[in-house]
Amino acid sequence: MVATTSNTVPVTVLTGYLGAGKTTLLNRILTHEHGKKVAVIVNEFGEVGIDNQLVIDADEEIFEMNNGCICCTVRGDLMRIIGNLMKRRHQFDHLVIETTGLADPAPVIQTFFVDEDLRDKIALDAVVTVVDAKHIQQHWDAEEAQEQIAFADVILLNKTDLVNPEELAELENKIKGMNKMAKIYRTQNSELSMDALLGVQAFNLDRALEIDPNFLSEDAHEHDETVKSFAIVESGELDGEKLNNWLSQLLQTKGVDIFRMKGILNIAGEDERFVFQGVHMLLDGKADRPWKEEETRKNELVFIGRNLDEAQLKEDFRQCLV
C-alpha cells in the first residue's frame, strides 16, 4: 500500500458529520483549477452539485473478513468500484472518497491495506475530517465523532465564524488531546488551500513521522477523554525479536482500541531506520533510509486510541530494548 512509485494513485478519505461542510469541500476540490483529474466516490446521500462522469455513487457496504472482528472489516463497494475505475487510471490522478457522517473511517483505510488488487495501486494520501466548530459539542461523546477525529491527518475546524475565539481555542485543545498528529486548519466555508488537502502524503511511510518535534518532547497532558494520543520516545537499541513479540501481542489484544500508530525505530544490528504505521490490527513496516552519522539514533512512536494504558505501553516498550 505504501509503494511510492508514480504508478500509485493517491486517495484522500473525507470524513465528517452531515452538515459539517464536506459537500462544500468536495465541490471546491472538483471545481478548483489544480490541474488534477479527481475522481470522487460519494455516499448515496451525497449532493455534489456537479455533473461529472468521475463522480460515482456508492453504498457503504461493510464486509467482514474474519468472524466479525472490527479490525478485519473492509468496504466491499470500494473494492468493486475502485477495481472498475482502475481499469483506466490515466483518466484520473487523484481519488477522493467521501464517507457518511456516521461512518467509522477504519474500514475504508483497511480496504487499502488488505485488498490485494488495491494495496499496490492505491496510496492512501490522508484522512481529512471536517469538524463543525459550532455543532461538534453536541456529538462529542459519539463514537463516530471521536473516531473521525482520531483517524484524521488533516482537520478542518470549519464554521469558525459561528463560535467565539475562546470556544474555538478550547475546541482546538480538546482535539489536540485526542489527536496530535493531525494538522488543524481553522476554516470558514471549508476554504483551504488545495496543497493542504491533496498530495499531503500523510500515509507515506517515508514521511510517517514528520511529527511536530514539540509533540514528541512534550509531557503528556491529562485529559478526561477516553480517546487520546501520546508518544513514546526512547533512546537505545531494540531487540528485534522482543519487539516483534510485543507488537503482535499488542495488536491482538489492543488492536480494537488502537486507531492509528506510527513509528521510527532503531533496531539493534540494523543500519537503517525501521518505519511503520498501523490501523487497528493491521501493521505495515519497512526498512527506511540509513541513520545519518550526526543523527541521534532513537525510537519514536505515536499512538492514537481509546482506553490505552500509556504507562503500561511505555513500560512494555522499554522491555524490548536490548
Instruction: Evaluate whether 236 touches 249 at the Cβ level (below 8 Å).
Output: no
Task: By CB under 8 A, tell whether 76 contacts other proteins.
Answer: yes
For residue 293, the SS3 value is coil
Helical packing angle, 106-114 and 76-85, nearest 10°: 60
Q: Which of 6, 35, 88, 214 binds other proteins (CB under 8 A)?
A: 88
Instruction: Evaluate whether 182 touches 157 at the Cβ level (below 8 Å).
Output: no
Task: By CB under 8 A, tell whether 81 contacts other proteins.
Answer: yes
Find the shortest distance in angstroms from Cβ 46 to other proteins: 10
Of 40 and 200, which has the nearer Cβ to other proteins? 40
**Would you give the distance in Å from CA 98 to the centre of its chain?**
14
Find the shortest distance in angstroms from Cβ 61 to other proteins: 5
Find the shortest distance in angstroms from Cβ 58 to other proteins: 9
| Cα separation values, 213 from 5, 83, 203, Å | 28, 39, 18
Of 51 and 293, which has the nearer Cβ to other proteins? 51
Q: Footprint of other proteins on residues 125-184 (CB under 8 A)?
A: none
Task: By CB under 8 A, tell whether 69 contacts other proteins.
Answer: no
Sole window of 26-34, 113-121, 185-193, 278-286 interacting with other proteins (rule: CB under 8 A): 113-121
Of 65 and 216, which has the nearer Cβ to other proteins? 65
Q: What angle do CA 242, 246, 252 make, to 5 degrees?
A: 150
Find the shortest distance in angstroms from Cβ 85 to other proteins: 9
Of 57 and 218, which has the nearer Cβ to other proteins? 57
Helical packing angle, 143-150 and 165-178, nearest 10°: 80
Nearest to 122 by CA among 7, 252, 267: 7
Dihedral sign for Cα atoms in the order 260, 302, 273, 205: positive
| Cα separation values, 195 from 34, 163, 201, 225, 298, Å | 9, 26, 11, 31, 31
Task: By CB under 8 A, tell whether 77 contacts other proteins.
Answer: yes
Find the shortest distance in angstroms from Cβ 47 to other proteins: 13
Nearest to 305 by CA among 208, 219, 179, 213: 179
Find the shortest distance in angstroms from Cβ 19 to other proteins: 23
Site string for other proteins, 27-66 (x = CB under 8 A): --------------------------x--xx-x-x-xxxx
**What is the C-alpha separation between 23 and 11, in angstroms, rounded?**
17
E strands within 159-257?
183-186, 227-235
Find the shortest distance in angstroms from Cβ 190 to other proteins: 24
Of 53 and 214, which has the nearer Cβ to other proteins? 53
Of 77 and 237, which has the nearer Cβ to other proteins? 77
What is the contact surface with other proteins in residues (CB under 8 A)? Answer: 53, 56-57, 59, 61, 63-67, 76-77, 80-81, 84, 87-88, 115-117
